[in-house]
Every structure is written in C-alpha cells, then in structure tokens.
A and B are shown apart, each in its own frame.
Chain A
Amino acid sequence: MFKFLLKRAALTIPTFFALMFVTFVAIRLVPGDPVEVRTGERGISPERLAQFRHELGLDQPVWKQFLDYVWQLLHGDFGTSIVTNERVLTEFFQLFPATLELSFFAMLFAIGIGIPAGVIAALKRGSIFDQTLMGISLTGFSMPIFWWGLLLIMLVAERWGLTPVSGRIDLIRFYFEPVTGFMLIDSLLSDQPGAFWSALHHLVLPAIVLGTVPLATLARMTRSSMLEVLSEDYVRTARAKGLSTFRVIGVHALRNALIPVVTIIGLQVGSLMAGAVLTETIFSWPGVGKWLIESIGRRDYPALQGGILLISSVVIIVNLTVDILYGTINPRIRHGR
C-alpha cells in the first residue's frame, strides 16, 4: 500500500511542473501586461512604463522570469499580487474556504441524489422513470451553468421568493468576524440566532447550480455501472441463495458498482472547480474562482499562477485520496493485481 502511495505521489511531481510551466507561459501569451492593463485612455509615459516593468521583473527574458519563479516556489513563496499587494497565499486561503464549502455541498447534493437515482433507474431499466431520469440527466449534463444559475435566481429567488438571490448571509441582519472562513461554522460560532439558517439558505441555490453537472454525470454513471454489475454471475448466485433484494442490491451489487463511480467523483472535483468560476460569479460568492477570473482581466500574473497551482494541488490531492479510497473498496488494486 505504501509503495502504491509513493508511486502515485511521485507521479504528481511532473504533473505539477507541467502545470507550472503551462500557466506561466499561457498568461504571458495573452496580449497586454499588468502595467498596460492599469492605464486607460491617458496612457503611460515610456519612462514610467519601463520603471514599473522593471520593478515587476517583466523586463527580464521569459526564461529568467520562469527560473526565478520556480526558485521562489521552491522556497514556498507564491509571490505577491500585483493588484492588491497581498501575499498570494494569504489571499488564496482567505477565499478558499468559501469555494470549499460551496463545492462540498454541491457534491453532497450530487451524490445524495445522483447515486440513488442511478440505482433506481438501473433497477427499473426501460421504465418511464428510467427514461425520464436519463433524459433529465442528459439535459443537466449539457446545461450551461451561467444560464441555469440565472434561471434559478429568477424563478426560485425572485419570483417565488424561496431563497435569497446571492451572497453568503443576510448582510443586514448578521455581522460577525470570520473565524474559519466557512460561513456555516462561523455562523454557529457567532451565537447569533438565525445566522446559521441564513447561511444555509444562501447555500441552497449555488450548491444546486454547481452540483447539477456532477449529479447528471453520477446518475448516468451509477446506472450503467449498476446495470453491468446486475448481470454478473455473483449477483445471480446471491439471488439464487435466496438473499433479500436489499442485501443483493445494497451489499453485493452496489458495492461493486460504486468502484467506477468513486473514480468519477474524484474526477468531478476538477470540473467542480471549473464550475465554481461561473457559479461564484453569478452568486457573488467570494471564492477562488471569481478571484481567478478577475486576476486574468487584470493580468495579475502572480495571483493567477499561484491560484492555478494551488487549485491544481487540491485537485491532485483529492484524486490521490480517491485512489487510496479506491484501494480500500477494491482490494484488487491494493494488491497490485
């Protein structure tokens, strides 16, 4: 198991370096640099432009800038944002809890509904439920997040008044200093009555929007995996032994059917992060996705590079965890078979 882990961890190092390189080069290929983007119609004098570019090290050859950056990273320094002058790491960890909270609930929503729905669809294969569910999940899968988010805001929040439009808590009624950055926890710690419900209430719509694509994927994946397992000999044997349907499905079939599903959950973390960029923008959610989008607009190289590396690290770690989990639920992997 240890060897397996070591091998997987070692594999992440080249991934990390490749990412570092691609991010570094890609942002520099986009026209306009951080100094020019700041200046409007008034322009900037060539002297001041040269001075600022020099201060930011942008007058150095790109390979030198890259080596400097790698050196900086090896010392654990992710740099300082050009726009806010805050350490990139500080900014990231200020915003990351919001993204994590949102992603966690989106995933909870996707798993909580997607897996049972997939199982039922497989059991009732060909029925109206199955066909409807697969139709809906195909729609969910191909739905543009931006459109879906705005539609839900208009219907659920605006027309029916069931949820707030955006934000993380009712700003008029509640105010407390963040402790953990997780609004649900902070609202409990604040001891203000109603704050927790307000935070939960604010989480509903964005979690549904962000969780829709993973939900659709999980439902379809669970269904097909379940169908495959249900036709296996050992399921037939279990049935023949006279086990209850619950045991056959719950213990024998589902456990095996979930193996590929767990992998998909791991892979979904990457797409959750991508979805968070849009969801956070629509719902004014102060997370890292929105921060990255703004950093692109402002050509804030350090923020963008650091942010992408940190998010990628999270995705890599989650996938590593999934691999370990995979070993636990599928002993064949663990034993290297």
Chain B
Amino acid sequence: MKTAQRSGLAALALSAVLMASTGLSAKTLVYCSEGSPENFTPALNTTGTSFDAARPVYNQLVEFERGTTKVIPGLAESWTVSPDGLTITFKLRKGVKWHTVTGFKPTRDFNADDVLFSFNRQWKTDHPYYKVSGGKYDYFNDMDMPKLLKSIEKKDDYTVVMTLAEPNAPMLANLAMDFATIQSAEFAEQLLKAGKPEQFDQIPVGTGPFSFVAYQKDAVIRYKANKEFWGEKPKIDDLVYAITPDPTARYSKLKSGECHFVPYPRPADLAEMQKDPQLQVINQPGLNIAYWAFNTQKKPFDDKRVRQALNMGIDKAAIVKDVYLGAGQAAKNLIPPTLWGYNDKVQDYPYDPEKAKAMLKEAGVTTPLDIDLWYMPVQRPYNPNAKRIAEMMQADLAKLGINAKLVTYEWGEYRKRAQQGEAMTVQLGWTGDNGDPDNFFFLRGCAAARPGGQNLSKWCNKEYDDRLNKAKTLADPAARAKLYEEMQVIEHDEAPDMKIAHSIVYEVMRKGVTGYKQSPLGGHKFNGVDVQ
C-alpha cells in the first residue's frame, strides 16, 4: 500500500514537472486549417493554405493593416517615392531580431542584405537559391516584377533603394503581398555552406510575431509567441494549426472545443452555426468577382445594346439566392465594395425581360438567336457552381428568344481558349491579389484584350483604358480613386460583361476568441488575437 502511495506521489510530482516543462498552462489557440502547406517560402507558392502557414513567422517591407487593404509600414519603417515615381527609398527598421530555431542561431539583426536576398532569389537567374525547391516564382512573375524592377540596391545597412522601369502606383501593394516576404540571408548562407539549401524552404526563420516550432505533414504546425517581436506582442503563447481538410470535421471539432477557429465553413452549415450560442460567425465580401463576359469582337455582342439587354434579361437575384446559398452578394461593379475606389453610385441593371426583348429588337437582333455560353468545369472561390448558373441563365435567355448552348472544357483548356477569344459568352472571375483596384480593372484594359490576354470581353475602350493607365502613374490615392470611379461608370454603360456576384467569406470561431480581424484579402493572421 505504502509503495503504491509513494509511486502515486512520484507520478504526481513527475506530471507536475512535465506540465511545467511542456507549458500546459500556456494560452494556446488552435486553428483548424484546411490543408498542408507546400513549403514555408511564400515566394514559391500560390495557395492561400501555404501563405497562411508562413504568415505567423514572416514580415514584408510593407504590410496590409490587419482587417484592411491599407498598406502600412512593416520591416520598412518609412519610405519615400521620388517625384518622377521611379525610385522608392525604404528606411529599414532597426533592432529587428531573427527567430532562433533548432539548427540556427542568428548572429545579427535584420538588415538590407536580407531584403536584397529575398528579392534577388526570385529575380536573378544566377542567384545560388534561384533553382532551389523548383524555383517557380509565380507571383513575382505574375505581378510583372521582372518588367517593373530596374534595380534594388543597398545604400547602407538600413536603406534600400528600389528603382522602377516605369512609375507604378500599385507597386507598394505588391510589396505587401506574401511573395515579397523577407527571409534571413544569414540562414540561407549557413544552409548553402552545409550543402542543404532545400531545408531553407522547409524551416521558416522569420521576424514575425510567432516563431516556428514543428511541422508534421497533414497533421499539425506549431508556433510559439516571439517575445522579441518588434510590433504588437502576441496575446497567446502557442499557436497550433490542426490540419483538418474536411469542412464537416472542422465544424465538429469547433463544436467539441478541439479547435477555436475554422475557415471555409460549408454554406449548408451556416444557419446552424449562427444559432449556436458557443460560436461567433463573421463574414465579409470576398476580394473577388464572378462575371459573365460578352465577346465584343463577335456579333451581335459588338453592339452595346445587346450587352445591356442581356444584363437585364438575367435574374441575378435568383442566381445569388439559389447558387450561392447566402454566401454571395450580387455584384454591380468589377471590384468588391470592400475595396477603395468602389463606386456605389452605379445603379445595377434591373431584371426586366420585357425591356431586354425590346432592346434586342431595337438592336436588330432576330430571334431565335443561337449563342454559346461557356461555364467553368470547376468550383472557384467566387463561383460555387458555374454549371448551375449557366443553366439558370440558359432558361432566362430562352425567354428572350435566345438559344444558349452550354459549353465547357477541361479547366486549363477552358482558360486558354477563353483567353484566345473563342467563346461568344463566357463565365469566369477573379480573386484580387493585393487590394489595389488596378489588380481588378486591368481585366478590362486594352493590353489584356489581345488574343491570349485576360480581358475575355476583348473589349478595348479608349476612355476606360486612358484612365486605367493614368491611375497607375499617380501616387495620390484620392486622385486614383476618382479615375476608378469614372471607369466604373463607363464600364457599366458599355456593359462588356454581366457582373454576377462577389462571394461572401465566412469564418467561425468559439465565443472566447477575441481580437480577430477578418482580412478582405482572405488570409488569416493571429497576431492580436486572444483566447479565453
């Protein structure tokens, strides 16, 4: 008996020690994420899942303010743009510590060498890291950085000068994107010397609010609060990403308290979630647009009256209600209402089949008219079911005397053909990258209207395009916003497309979670978040 008591006590003492050593009393936030990251270097990746996994660890020169698309100082304390718009000079923050992880202890603070390393890796083909981990820098290339950048130079340890080939106002927003993450040049060099450069993309060493602890593929990613973080100190001690791909399982785990926060709930679960007193459901329009483009180079869509008529002939409200199931908002402009420059004065075309018919007649369209209507073979963040939408449109068009033939291809093929201008009318959409309106409006610009370009309407309007190009060169956001507002009026009147909807992004958390701000850009950030 005595022995049993003694061993019991010993076990108790042992568990107390273990509890202390493993920090079980620590404040932990569990985020049930939807998948595993490809790696931890955002420059190499294209998925939100991978960006989310790197986000706690890293910073950029400039960043998006939490919950907005406003660009604020990050690792650059301040910056100045030269009057000709061609030079941006960044003053870097001093005293920023790199994380210490297993196998790496930094010997110096963050400085200009790290900035040069992070950009040159993606830019210079002779950089020792250029080819590491496959070396596909999609975003760096997609945002036209090789074309826009002339040089990036270190003036001193805390000053970096970026010279551009042409003035480009959205550049700062580009630099706040994940691909522009600043990584440790010292760690990269250490691994290169050790002959293990590929580990650089598996073990994230950053300057952010949380440092990386461990990753087990398809199971869990662990981070701990960075006590030396230069910005707002994290309110939690540990951050755990419990990888849970199935949305139903995520919801169950949220209910049972196994996680505190879940992204991407199933629309069908939303009503029940909203009724649950243990949960908080938040939402906002996603930074995206689903549209139906009319190919203005094909008859009869070269006539704007036909395009306007089709805008009036489709019951958009029914589509939003039946297809988006509450997770969508009817769209009237190309940009979502959360983005600056949104023109709320634009009045959407009303659903009026009679007027639509009359307008078609006025335009000299003889019915029955045969057209094709392309729909994507896949679900997209902005469009849960393009086929269903196409079927609803087909029924509405039939009432106008238009026979729409539904067409689709394999996803890659679909985009290629649509961009070549093969379709008469085609559904597609867009998800914004950097919260700059230009990142949406270029979709109707003349440059994108060439065969193979992303302007699926193949619509090129001088008034619109002049404003688009001018706005890019202006540094003053108010002046840019004015031009964008005018462009929305032109585009509404010309109707090169019908805007379908912006999806509504929902996120769900347990009642005790406070301080979370939903990002209009769709990412997840847990600095400033607390859990009771």
Contacts and interface: CB of A to CB of B under 8 A. Distances in A.
A171 B221 CA distance: 10
Contact of B252 (A39, A41, A158, A177): A158
A84 B249 contact: no
B256 interface: yes
B248 interface: yes
Contact of A286 (B39, B219, B240, B413): B219
A95 B218 contact: yes
Given A161-B256, A164-B258, A43 B416 contact: yes
Interface string B369-391: 00000000000100000000000
Nearest to B26: A172
Contact of B429 (A41, A86, A175): A41
B59 interface: no
Interface string A179-199: 000000000000111000000
B82 interface: no
Given A85-B39, A158-B255, A165-B258, A48 B18 contact: no
Contacts of A154: 252
B477 interface: no
A31 B378 CA distance: 13
A95 to B, nearest CB: 6
Nearest to A81: B38
B136 interface: yes
A84 B253 CA distance: 28
Interface stretch (A14-22, A102-110, A276-284): A276-284
A282 B454 contact: no
B9 interface: no
A281 B431 contact: no
A284 B249 contact: yes
B35 interface: yes
Contacts of B415: 39, 41, 43
Contacts of A175: 22, 214, 222
Interface in A157-175: 157-158, 161, 164-168, 171-175
B532 interface: no
B374 to A, nearest CB: 14
A192 B18 contact: yes
B410 A173 contact: no
B216 A286 contact: yes
A85 B258 contact: no
Nearest to A288: B218
Contacts of B83: none
A166 B255 contact: no
B253 A36 contact: no
A193 B11 contact: yes
A290 interface: yes
Contact of A39 (B24, B133, B138, B219): B138
A165 B430 contact: no
Given A41-B431, A154-B252, A171-B30, A84 B258 contact: no
B443 to A, nearest CB: 9
A44 B380 CA distance: 18
A59 interface: no
B454 A42 contact: yes
Given A95-B218, A193-B15, A286-B218, A43 B419 contact: yes
B268 to A, nearest CB: 13
B142 interface: yes
A275 to B, nearest CB: 15
Given A39-B138, A83-B38, A165-B252, A171 B244 contact: no
Interface in B238-296: 240, 242-246, 248-249, 252-253, 255-256, 258
A165 B256 contact: yes
A157 to B, nearest CB: 6
B141 interface: yes
Interface string A188-217: 000111000000000000000000000000
A282 B15 CA distance: 33
B249 A282 contact: yes
A85 B133 contact: yes
Given A84-B38, A177-B214, A286-B219, A164 B256 contact: yes
A282 B246 contact: yes
Contacts of A287: 218
A78 interface: no
Nearest to B416: A43
B156 to A, nearest CB: 36
A153 interface: yes
B218 A42 contact: no
A331 B248 CA distance: 51
A294 interface: yes
Interface string B178-220: 0000000000000000000010011000000000001011111
Contacts of A46: 452
Contacts of A45: 141
Given A38-B46, A94-B217, A294 B35 contact: yes
B317 interface: no
Given A154-B252, A284-B243, A84 B39 contact: yes
Interface in A249-284: 281-284
A161 B428 CA distance: 44
A157 B258 CA distance: 11
Contacts of A281: 245-246
Interface string B125-151: 000000001101010011000000000
Interface string A16-60: 000000000000000111001111111111101000100100000
A301 interface: no
Nearest to A161: B256
A139 B214 CA distance: 42
A24 to B, nearest CB: 20
B411 interface: yes
Given A84-B38, A284-B242, A286-B218, A166 B253 contact: yes
A48 B39 contact: no
B217 to A, nearest CB: 6
Contacts of A98: 219
A153 B216 CA distance: 24
B332 to A, nearest CB: 20
A311 interface: no
A178 interface: yes
A172 B22 contact: no
Contacts of B412: 31-33, 36-37, 39
B318 interface: no
Nearest to A30: B410
A41 B416 CA distance: 10
B24 A173 contact: yes
A183 to B, nearest CB: 9
A291 interface: yes
A80 B464 CA distance: 47
Interface string B339-358: 00000000000000000000
B266 to A, nearest CB: 12
15 contacts: A36-B411, A41-B430, A42-B142, A42-B454, A45-B141, A48-B141, A85-B134, A165-B252, A166-B249, A167-B253, A171-B258, A174-B22, A192-B22, A287-B218, A291-B218
Given A31-B410, A39-B138, A39-B415, 11 more contacts: A36-B412, A41-B380, A41-B429, A94-B216, A166-B253, A167-B219, A174-B22, A192-B18, A281-B245, A284-B244, A284-B249
